[in-house]
Amino acid sequence: MNELIPVYAKYFTNEDIKQMIAFYETPLGKKTISVLPQISQESAEIGQKYGIAAAKRALQKLEEEGYLRRRP
């Protein structure tokens, strides 16, 4: 936990943290905490699909421009 303090301190003030704690004690804050892992996972999956598609497009373009040989 101590290793995370500087990371949060870099982006948030003490007042920010107090407001976040107050928010997470509300019903919406509690819901946010409960669904955030699923949102993160689904978002990561979407990002991964996008990254794979972008890499395929880039490789295809490099092959078309003669920078890479086509694989058999």
State residue 69's pLDDT score. 84
* pLDDT above 70: residue 46: yes
List the alpha helices (DSSP H) in 1-72.
Answer: 5-11, 14-24, 27-64
Give the domain ranges of the chain.
5-64
* pLDDT above 80: residue 67: yes
Amino acid at site 49:
K
State residue 5's pLDDT score. 94
Do 2 and 11 form a contact (C-beta atoms < 8 A)? Answer: no
Do 68 and 62 form a contact (C-beta atoms < 8 A)? Answer: yes
